[in-house]
Amino acid sequence: MQKPIMAVTGDETDEETELAPSHMAATTGDMPTYQIRAPTTALPQGVMMAASPGSLHSPQQLAEEATRKRELRLMKNREAAKECRRRKKEYVKCLESRVAVLEVQNKKLIEELETLKDICSPKTD
DNA sequence: TGAGCAACCCGTCACGTCGT
DNA sequence: ACGACGTGACGGGTTGCTCA
């Protein structure tokens, strides 16, 4: 069982923002949210709109209404969680490929630096 | 071959944020 | 205020691998 604690530092200076994580409102600062508010979609199939509370009377009906609301909420949350995880995976993949690019870039720069050092250093023989 | 483990996925709860 | 939504945390299930 692993509890992934993901701490992505939010202090990156990015030039090529691919996924552009909008950062959680200034309050929580350091956590990126990979959220793009999707347009609210229609209810999943099989979900009935609940009757308006005004039309309910018996405790039985109230209980049924509460159950229906809860199930609807659970179902929506289930979908939201899936979508959230999907976005998070995509975001992490994006970061990983960015790391790979930057590593290559860094290596090249180090090599270039060494070359220039060789050229500029006084000959010692 | 069964146990142990790591990596992954899922559903749910709790909580913060946002729009009304 | 309140409801809707996004997401971290948690617990549990599944799968593939390794090792005795």
Residue A51 forms part of a structural domain: no
Specify the pLDDT at position A5. Answer: 32
- The strand C neighbours among A residues 59-98, by Cβ under 7 Å, are 73, 76-77, 80-81, 83-84, 87-88
pLDDT in tens, A57-88: 688 888 888 888 999 999 999 999 999 999 99
Residue A83 forms part of a structural domain: yes
Domain that holds residue A74: 59-124
Residue A10 forms part of a structural domain: no
pLDDT (average), residues A12-21: 36
Residue A2 forms part of a structural domain: no
Residue A48 forms part of a structural domain: no
Tokens of A87: 């976005």
Percent of chain A at pLDDT above 70?
Answer: 52
The set of strand C positions with any atom below 7 Å of a protein CB reads 4-13
Domain count, chain A: 1
pLDDT (average), residues A81-103: 92
Instruction: Give CA separation, A75 vs A62, A70, A87, A104, in Å.
Output: 20, 9, 19, 44
CA angle A68-A70-A75, nearest 5°?
A: 95
Helix then strand then coil, in percent of chain A rounded to 5, is: 50, 5, 45
* Phi, psi for A11 (deg, rounded to 5): -100, 30
At A113, is the pLDDT very low, low, confident or very high (cuts 50, 70, 90)? very high
Closest residue, CA to C1' of B12: A74
